[in-house]
Amino acid sequence: MASDGTRKQFWKRSNSKVPGSIQHVYGAQHPPFDPLLHGTLLKAVPKVPTTPVKAKRVSTFQEFESNTSDAWDAGEDDDELLAMAAESLNSAVVMETAHRVLRNHSQRQGRHRPQEAVEPEQKPKPSPEPPVVPSGDLRLVKSVSESHASCPPGSASATVPLHRCPSLPSSATVALGGASDPSALSSSALSEREASRLDKFRQLLAGPNTDLEELRKLSWSGVPKPVRAVTWKLLSGYLPANADRRPATLQRKQKEYFAFIDHYYDSRNDEVHQDTYRQIFERILFIWAIRHPASGYVQGINDLVTPFFLVFICEHADSEDVDVADVSRVPEDALRSVEADTYWCVSRLLDGIQDNYTFAQPGIQMKVKMLEELVRRIDEQVHRHLDQHEVKFLQFAFRWMNNLLMREVPLRCTIRLWDTYQSEPDGFAHFHLYVCAAFLVRWRREILEEKDFQELLLFLQNLPTAHWGDEDISLLLAEAYRLKFAFADAPNHYKK
């Protein structure tokens, strides 16, 4: 009994430290206390009269929160940002700074914009000498950037050779007020060349079995509008190469698509309901998201539907320009076939780049990193300039990868770009990387002129491409092909 009393008294003594005594265990809710971090937090946050135990709990939780923040949180400087936000800011100074940045950006955009508003009877004034491009790595600039940025049509002092200055599209030529005799001759020569290319396409497509390899070679330089729809269906793998099997394949695929609509999509049958183009896009995206649960719908996929839909519907709209095509007179049967064809071609495209739209979009993250390494190798001065002003490639190139440059160039240029993408093996997944690199270096001179973060980001997110035409896209693709030829088969070349 005495021994039992001794044991009870022994276990009551909790002050003495003996081997095996219970120690405090810190888990995710209560990490170990760091006095250095505690001191920093007390400086940033106003002191509150609390007990030492409570202060310790607050500081350790803030440490845990800062150490476990993910990529979308504010980062490790949360407390500093909160302390800065607590200070009173002069609203007049903030507004003045914002207006100054926007004003400077507008002035620079005005200097970079080509002279498109010249009156028909007004003679263009001689422009001053072109600005000097900063010395550096110019091996990618001469063929892409300077021939566009520094030789507006009709400029008396343009120093770039005439054969390097691309001709403007027809709409821009009308805005400039007429064309001279040399341009008329070049237009006739261009029409003859296009007619010859159209004949080659028709002869190739009229055969019983289309040679897809030869079709890709012809399509790399652009597809004529009358045969673009069937060419895209063949290059995307939607239609078979055998001509006799195509009608049955189209009928079977269209029937399969509308079976998905009846099964998954709750159609509206009220009297007010009309089948608008917005609802057609909604059905296409809804069915694709249902059938691809790994990614589902991600913002940006809707843009990829537009080129296919316009190309296929212009086959029935009888218009030479996709921007002004009248689609209100398209018959209902043709509209149904256009919807089904668009769905299957978009599905083929997204199957090759689906990792761009899965959770956390790892495909885009990887491609942006590859773009940064590639630009570092081909134009170190541009890369260093962006890095010095803390402009991250993810801040402007994410949209380039997510929307395949559709937000950066006009729709007519996107369709021309996709002619080449579909003729390249893995064009949307692989060749697009080199197009983005050439596209960034295309604005080399303008990028180096911007001297702060705000103006650089405004420029990169609002590039002046509204006047672009097929010639600009052709030069961009030629430069991208040169980069692919130099780096694609030796990926370690763009790694330091």
DSSP secondary structure letters along 442-477:
HTHHHHHH--SHHHHHHHHHS---TT--HHHHHHHH
Angle at 336 between CA 334 and CA 342, to 5 degrees: 100
Distance CA 114, CA 61 (A): 57
Spatial neighbors of 101 by CB under 8 A, at least 6 apart, are 452, 454, 455, 458
- Whole-angstrom Cα Rg for the chain: 31
242 by DSSP, 3-state: which? strand
Q: What is the pLDDT along the chain (496 residues), one digit of tens a residue?
A: 555 555 555 555 555 555 544 555 444 444 455 544 444 444 444 544 444 444 444 445 555 555 544 444 444 455 565 555 555 556 776 677 777 767 776 776 665 555 444 444 444 444 444 444 333 343 333 333 333 433 444 433 333 333 333 333 333 333 333 333 444 445 566 688 889 999 999 999 999 999 999 999 999 999 999 999 999 999 999 999 999 999 999 999 999 999 999 988 875 554 555 567 788 999 999 999 999 998 889 989 999 999 999 999 988 876 656 566 666 778 888 999 999 999 999 999 999 999 999 999 999 999 999 999 999 999 999 999 999 999 999 999 999 999 999 999 999 999 999 999 999 988 999 999 999 999 999 999 999 999 899 999 999 999 999 999 999 999 999 999 999 998 877 766 655 5
Tokens coding 474: 């052709």
Instruction: State phi, psi for 63 to the nearest 5 degrees.
Output: -65, -45
* pTM of this prediction exceeds 0.85: no
Q: Does domain 362-494 have CATH number 2.60.40.3080?
A: no
Q: What are the boundaries of each domain within the chain?
A: 29-66, 182-356, 362-494
Q: Is 148 in contact with 474 (CB distance < 8 Å)?
A: no
Handedness of CA 491, 436, 213, 251 (dihedral sign): positive
Q: Is 396 in contact with 385 (CB distance < 8 Å)?
A: no
Angle between helices 470-487 and 432-442 (to 10 degrees): 120
